[in-house]
Amino acid sequence: MPIKTRFAPSPTGFLHVGGLRTALFSYLFARKNGGEFLVRIEDTDQERFVEGGIENILRSLQWAGIQADAGVWLGEKGEVIQKGAAGPYTQSERLGVYKKYVQELLDKGNAYHCFCSKERLDELRSIQEAGKQPTGYDGLCRSLDEKTKANKLEGGESFVIRMKTPREGSTIFTDLVRGKVTFDNSLIEDQVLIKSDSFPTYHFAVVVDDHLMGITHVIRGEEWLPSTPKHILLYQMFGWQIPEFAHLSLLVNEQKQKLSKRHGDVSVEDFKEKGYLAEALVNFIAFLGWNPGDEREIFSLKELEQEFSFDKVSKAAAVFNREKFDWYNREYIRKMSDEALAEACRPYLENAGLVQKAEFLTHAVGLVKDRLVRLSDAPEMMGFLFAEELAYESELLIWKKSTRDDTAKILKKLHVFLQSIGENDWTKETLEIKVGEWIRENEYGTGDVLWPMRVALSGAKNSPGPYEMAGVLGKTRTLQLIQTGHKRL
């Protein structure tokens, strides 16, 4: 049987980096094994539905390069479309399917109507907790006689449908990342299958859909581990083949707490906006719980597709470490061509009101490429290259070992000397040679010349080298800035 995996998010907000990792591992496992990967939307909770949530999730997946073979995805114009033989792939469009299958369970005696009120359930729980007993539904409505049931139904009483779980024995399965896991059946409660609004619960819909869609490997977050026995019981009631399960450890923050929206910066979209590259995010996130077994750390999505395997997936929760992520981002930024990086930075620069021609932008980006961590740092890092006038204190021009008078003199002489250099020689390399010679001939201190030159050109104490900046800035602009610097003294 060909391998088939899926990613099944709920449209209750934005795609979380943890969710992206789950999607990625599902996708990688399918690709590695020549299988199929599909995306299904689990929107069975009408109350938690967020407008635009589906689009956002799909956009994030697309940005990360995770392509589905079937299911729900984004069309050319960003509209939500569905493709595949086992559709629809949105659970709210499959209500008839769940109705049919829950009837089968009802007929077989594996499920029953329950009329218990919220109040009774709450009370039951507090009694159980107070008595240090395991919590869970006590099965009161299991034994309802047909007549009472018919009366209640006729009277329009609100009800749910629950599965009838066995009271003895245990449910055991072998998880692909965790190994053998055992649950005592007596602790598995009679889970609600169909809610009173006639929508299925996650537990029911996921089993029906995974079976109908031919999912062979259920890959999901660790939070689902405790409910897996319920799902297995359901497969058994239907007489369906039980899929393989792989429960991925959670992603936690630096305080070892579950990553959450409250702590900020967890949605994929946030990271994208902050100027992180998709390749860097994918690479970083893949290594949170997976590694190739050797010392390589840079992997493209394609390479991951070739090497991914569950026996290299670790069981422990992983901290989403920003420093390491920054390092990955820097690595990927440096691998980009100046042209591509310039285009990637352009939106951030334009947003800051810094608009420039492509050619100049490419040169400018080349200047700061090695120091750029995020694309969003571009405006601050290169702003001085585009500014009309540089705002800095005149004291900044004076090197720590120099004086105001000497600096003024040197700047003036430098201006004169630079004028003598032809436009054709105005490159970083030639400037370095010529100015270097000039410094030695006149017996100036290197810092006495280069420091004020740097400040005059950048207006800042931290910046790229003066020769590089002069090369990018061009002769006219460079002379102008040095003159301005001189005047300030």
Partner RNA sequence: GCCCCCAUCGUCUAGUGGUUAGGACAUAUGGUUCUCAGCCAUAGAACACCGGUUCGACUCCGGUUGGGGGUACCA
Interacting residue with RNA among 317, 352, 390, 489 (CB under 7 A): 317
Beta-bridge mates of residue 313: 290
Q: How many residues belong to the site for RNA (CB under 7 A)?
A: 86
Interacting residue with RNA among 144, 187, 242, 352 (CB under 7 A): 187
If binding is defined by CB under 7 A, does position 403 make contact with RNA?
no
Kindly indicate which of the ranges 55-63, 216-224, 388-396, 475-483 contains the residues binding RNA, using the contact rule CB under 7 A.
216-224
147 is catalytic: no
Which of residues 315 and 359 has its CB atom nearest to RNA in the complex? Answer: 315
If binding is defined by CB under 7 A, does position 53 make contact with RNA?
no
Residue whose token pair is 């920003």: 322
Contact 406, 385 (CB under 8 A): no
If binding is defined by CB under 7 A, does position 172 make contact with RNA?
no
Interacting residue with RNA among 62, 90, 227, 427 (CB under 7 A): 227
Which of residues 77 and 256 has its CB atom nearest to RNA in the complex? Answer: 256
Contact 439, 449 (CB under 8 A): yes
Interacting residue with RNA among 4, 7, 8, 378 (CB under 7 A): 8
Tell me how far apart the alpha carbons of residues 32 and 308 are, in angstroms, rounded to a whole number.
6
Dihedral sign for Cα atoms in the order 367, 369, 371, 377: positive
Kindly indicate which of the ranges 28-36, 66-74, 120-128, 233-241 contains the residues binding RNA, using the contact rule CB under 7 A.
120-128
Tell me how far apart the alpha carbons of residues 170 and 186 are, in angstroms, rounded to a whole number.
8
Amino acid identity of residue 322, one-letter, is R
Interacting residue with RNA among 2, 75, 166, 226 (CB under 7 A): 226
Tell me how far apart the alpha carbons of residues 461 and 217 are, in angstroms, rounded to a whole number.
56
Q: Least distance from C-beta 193 to RNA, angstroms?
A: 9
3-state SS class at 6: strand
If binding is defined by CB under 7 A, does position 78 make contact with RNA?
no
Strands in 111-114's sheet, in edge-to-edge order, are 111-114, 160-163, 192-194
Contact 92, 100 (CB under 8 A): no
Interacting residue with RNA among 243, 275, 459, 466 (CB under 7 A): 466
Beta-bridge mates of residue 290: 313
Binding mask 121-140 for RNA (x = CB under 7 A): x---x--xx--xxxxxx---
Q: Least distance from C-beta 223 to RNA, angstroms?
A: 4
If binding is defined by CB under 7 A, does position 427 make contact with RNA?
no
Tell me which H or E stretch contains 160: strand 160-163
Binding mask 191-210 for RNA (x = CB under 7 A): -x--xxx-x-xxx-------
Interacting residue with RNA among 138, 222, 269, 305 (CB under 7 A): 222
User: What Rg do the C-alpha atoms of the chain give, in angstroms?
Assistant: 32
* Residues with Cβ within 8 Å of residue 116, at least 6 apart in sequence: 137, 140, 141
If binding is defined by CB under 7 A, does position 183 make contact with RNA?
yes
Interacting residue with RNA among 98, 399, 426, 444 (CB under 7 A): 399
If binding is defined by CB under 7 A, does position 252 make contact with RNA?
yes
Residue whose token pair is 């910066």: 265
If binding is defined by CB under 7 A, does position 309 make contact with RNA?
no
The active-site residue out of 99, 261, 312, 487 is 261
Q: Which residue in 241, 171, 198, 36 sits closest to 102, CA to CA?
A: 198
3-state SS class at 41: strand
Which of residues 95 and 317 has its CB atom nearest to RNA in the complex? Answer: 317
Contact 341, 365 (CB under 8 A): yes
Instruction: Just list the catalytic residues.
Output: 261
